[in-house]
Amino acid sequence: MGRLRRWLRVGWGVAALLVVESLVFGVSALPAIGFWSWVARQPVLGPEIVRTLVLAVSVAPAYLIFSCALMFSTALACRVLGWQASEGSFVVREVGAEVVAWGKHNAAAHVVRVICGELFRATPVWRWYLRGMGASIGRGVHVNTAAVYDINLFRMGDHVVVGGRAQLSAHLVEAGVLKVEGSVFERGATIGTGSIISPGVRVGENGQVGALSFVTKGTRVPSNTAYGGVPARLIKRFDPVEVPGEEVLYRGPGESVEGRGPGEG
């Protein structure tokens, strides 16, 4: 009986996702189709090839309209239906309500990421979408990556910078248990290009994570420090008024700073 209930929850979740995503796609396509229809109705002088060219050129703006509508509709649907990730530990095979909601949230976000992410990342539109999906984002934040998972569990203070191709995730699975914990980037924090941020990470004010670093779960990067490497370790402490140069973030993992090894505090 327990197995049947689990399968029913999975089936219901998949069916709900399919229905909602179909509606979201349909609603998002309406303004793009309307724009394309309007272009097609415009009188165009000259041979038929000119009309064909005009319609072909209108594909790009129609795609932009569809993408923006898709981001807005997805964020609205997730908010209204409660498709958000919840913090905690959940046994995956039990397929509880939290696991189902987490799965639907990330599935809907994945669709947007594939269709719109690479086009809009690092733009204000992408920042607005992340806010719509539940992320707490301050002023002047720059998010140059589409790889943000469990979006509603991230908090970013003012002037945070997330570099290109960084991967931000608030979940992992260990021994069949889904563990979900949000991360916090305080004011002025920087996440370097290509870095991987695990669940439960906190980067303090003006904290720096170097490019291509792997920050393990639960890591605390203190304010005014630079961390880097695989796994990320302390590289340097700097004065709050000092702006750390690139040599801080890209120093080799075997090099010491100010007489300390890379992993010493």
Identity of residue 234? L
61-92: pLDDT as tens digits: 999 999 999 999 999 999 999 999 999 999 99
pLDDT at res. 42: 84
pTM: 0.85
Rg, C-alpha atoms of the chain: 22
* pLDDT value for 54: 86
Helix ranges, the chain (H): 2-41, 48-57, 59-81, 97-112, 118-120, 124-132, 246-249
Look at residues 30, 195, 17, 164 and name the one whose alpha carbon lies nearest to residue 102: 17
Residue with tokens 């002047």: 140
Q: Which residue has the tokens 């509508």?
A: 69
All structural domains of the chain, each given as residue ranges with its CATH number in brackets, are: 2-249 (2.160.10.10)
Farthest CA pair distance, the chain: 76
For residue 248, the model assigns a pLDDT of: 47
Instruction: Please name which of 6, 153, 128 lies closest in space to residue 67, comparing C-alpha atoms.
Output: 128
Beta bridge partners of 226: 208, 236
In the chain, which residues have pLDDT < 70?
A: 1, 45, 240-265
